[in-house]
Homo-oligomer: A and B are copies of this chain.
Amino acid sequence: MLNYQPAPLDLAFQALADPTRRLMVERLSQGPASVSELAQPLDMTLSAVVQHLAVLEASGLVRSQKVGRVRTCRIEPQVLHSAERWISERRASWERRLDRLGAFLVETDPTTRPRSK
């Protein structure tokens, strides 16, 4: 898609699609951390970690502030929440449909409804 302004969910799911970034989010879900703390378990340069962090911040999943020379990062749960809601709504919609279908089948199938009405 040309000239497309990415929607919030584009950025959120894109950010979560990378295993390194999911690890960073997992770490941050335990509590705030500095950039170096985020980088510590990761097998890549600090530079790469900073770039991943930029993606997370652009998506709104993470917020950070610098005090002195250390930048402290923390999770921003709202975007996490809307991603979760998008998924659960589709899933709910699909499952409601299956329920209606199931009810219809039970109601019309003579083997599950031999008598009644």
Q: Contact residues of A with B, CB < 8 Å?
A: 1, 4, 7, 9-10, 13-14, 16-20, 22, 25-26, 28-31, 75, 77, 80-81, 83-84, 86-88, 90-91, 93-95, 97
Complex Cα distance A95/B30, Å? 9
> Which 7 residue pairs are nearest across A and B when measured between Cβ atoms?
A13-B17, A14-B17, A29-B90, A29-B93, A13-B16, A84-B87, A29-B94
Complex Cα distance A75/B97, Å? 11
Query: SS class of chain A's interface: helix, strand, loop or mixed?
Result: helix
- When C-beta atoms are compared, the residue in chain B nearest to A87 turns out to be B84
Complex Cα distance A87/B90, Å? 15
Complex Cα distance A87/B93, Å? 19
Chain B residues whose CB sits within 8 angstroms of the CB of A91 once the complex forms: 29, 77, 80-81, 84
Complex Cα distance A6/B26, Å? 18
CB atoms of B90 and A25 under 8 A apart: yes
CB atoms of A30 and B80 under 8 A apart: no
- When C-beta atoms are compared, the residue in chain B nearest to A43 turns out to be B1
